[in-house]
Structure 1
């Protein structure tokens, strides 16, 4: 005959086990949630429209424009296209450095005129897709800068008013590059 306290003993042990596992999170990783809040603050300072769902729950994986890995609840995609409607602005890319599992960063159609500290993205060793299309970034050597990101498979620089010649040296490290979009419609 089982005593009535048996289910409580199981519950007690389950709670003890869960308490001993401090790295388990439900939703998203705390440091990435904090980084998203810093990103929100930085974007708001530039008069950008950050999705209203940001900060509404502890689960940043449920926030609009944020994609997370299914198995690790780490941020794997930031879809920040068209959030800035004001005039040209510069973006300090250091705000994205905490997202170590980031595969996709979409900053298209934001009136970006400059990318401050592009080397800050070098720590994003899993970044596969970078979309900077539809901005007004006119740096002729952007490929030289992006050439340092060996994990990139897709780079979209279309509609950026770029001109000039691409240097072959820019492509030396881009061994995984499958797509490069440079289309310009005038």
Structure 2
């Protein structure tokens, strides 16, 4: 979309077409694909301490570096792959985050191999129905994001604190936090 005349959430810079497209076409749209849910969780982890636009601008480089976020491929990454990633200027070169992504792929695959679908797991926290918030108050975390964070950590995921999890919930459409007046708010509730 990218129309500068549209009213969007205040965090979106109308001058940045990439940010507008992300907001207009992706943010808050309920995502049901397990692999994409995992990719977004990993990217939110890389975002910790940075701005989301930084990650968004590097997303294609992340996809190239992490084999298209194919969990089976990433789960098999070894020390040589870690060093390759640490040398890649196209991504955030943080060893702990790289290691967390590889471990996250291994956990994702273990869940799948034991018969637990990641999308079913994620959406099971809210019975499959997105939560529509008031469009005025935007918490950094909630009791639900704390519960999901705790469960993800119990499974071994890293960089999944309650604030990261809440941002992920917003991004993947578990929560409709489009502001009142934003042209996407009602579309996400249809």
TM-score, normalised on structure 1? 0.22
Higher strand share: 1
Indicate the structure (1 or 2) with the bigger Cα radius of gyration: 1
Relative CO higher for 1 or 2, CA cutoff 8 Å, sep ≥ 6? Answer: 2
Higher helix share: 2
